[in-house]
Structure 1
């Protein structure tokens, strides 16, 4: 496999982000003592996307356009 480009890495990050839980879904009951670590990981990925000019709220629709409802605005 050749060395991935920055675009390849960003695409992989977007895909992984789609499979991450939403921060609102993370709680101590579901994740135990690791819940804060999970929240920190989610925040790190969100910040990395933002630093690369990508709106995390739009990622799921970009990666999965066929199963994402159209915006109402």
Structure 2
């Protein structure tokens, strides 16, 4: 059995935003960087949710967040 290296959630940018985006794995315990309270309008990530038809339901559940495990 392989050791689990990382686990988290599948995220991507908002589909209506003009910038390009791809799905990535966001660690379930991300390391935060200290900063100020200024908003620089950086990249915002949104959780990917299951949609039945695109994915087989079951085992996926409509509207649930998709998790990722990297071994």
Higher CA-based Rg: 2
Higher helix residue share: 1
Fold shared per TM-score above 0.5: no
TM range (shorter): under 0.3
The two structures have a TM-score, normalised by structure 1, of: 0.26
TM-score (norm 2): 0.26
Q: Which is strand-richer, 1 or 2? A: 2
Higher relative contact order (CA 8 A, sep 6+): 2
